[in-house]
Amino acid sequence: MSQYFDKKAVEWDADERRRQLSSAIGSSILVHVPLDDRMDVLDFGAGTGLISAYVAPRVNKIVAVDTSEAMLAALAAKQELSGMVETVCADITKSPLGKRFDLVISAMAMHHVPDTAELIQSFADHLNPCGRLALADLDTEDGSFHPDEAAGVFHLGFDRGELQGVLETCGFGDIHFFTAHTVIKDEKRYPVFLVTATISQIA
């Protein structure tokens, strides 16, 4: 899967639909998640930093994690993120970072991870007590969102109720869903949610 995204990295930011989606998700995070300049943030599946760019000016530091070296190289080359974002190429479900964060953000990455519960638990393990989570992804769709050549699509979106159950099992509360954006593609509508949650004080 990382090879697929490595090949896409050069042209990634040029896609207008992707830029609109990233803008909507980034703006939704700014509206629904309290940020301050003391916060350390983990951006999971950070790609070229389209979401980090919205959050980085308002927090202390972002650690951008992805399994694609080329995507992270494109992020690191952005002067506007210099000094604010550290890149790490890793699968945090298999190789935890050994540090904790005040906030975990992720946009359109969950459906590329086979085991959602394992991923959510990894997020919990990387959060400080009372740390927050802000995840954006597709609502359940019919499989037509991604092109046939797309790699590593393990979920056709997510049912909000089922995802809330996974979050609660992993120790999250204060869970809220918002519709951040609706992608219109080939006359079909694909809602994209933002879910925010807070981990318990006991970590």
Domains of the chain are: 2-199 (3.40.50.150)
pLDDT at position 88 is: 97
Mean pLDDT of the 35-49 span: 96
Phi, psi of 72 (to 5 degrees): -65, -35
User: Is the confidence at residue 80, as pLDDT, over 70?
Assistant: yes
pLDDT at position 147 is: 77
Condensed to tens digits (0 to 9), the pLDDT of residues 148-199 reads 777 788 999 999 999 999 999 999 999 999 999 999 988 899 999 999 999 9
Distance, in Å, from the CA atom of 120 to the CA atom of 122, rounded to the nearest integer, reads 5
How many Cα atoms sit within 13 Å of 74 on the Cβ side?
21
- pTM (2 decimals)? 0.92
CA 91 to mean position of chain CA atoms? 14
DSSP for 132-191, please give it.
EEEEEEEBS--S-SS-TT------S-B-HHHHHHHHHHTTEEEEEEEEEEEEEETTEEEE
Condensed to tens digits (0 to 9), the pLDDT of residues 6-37 reads 445 556 566 788 899 999 999 999 999 999 99
pLDDT at position 11 is: 66
125, 193 contact by CB (below 8 A): no
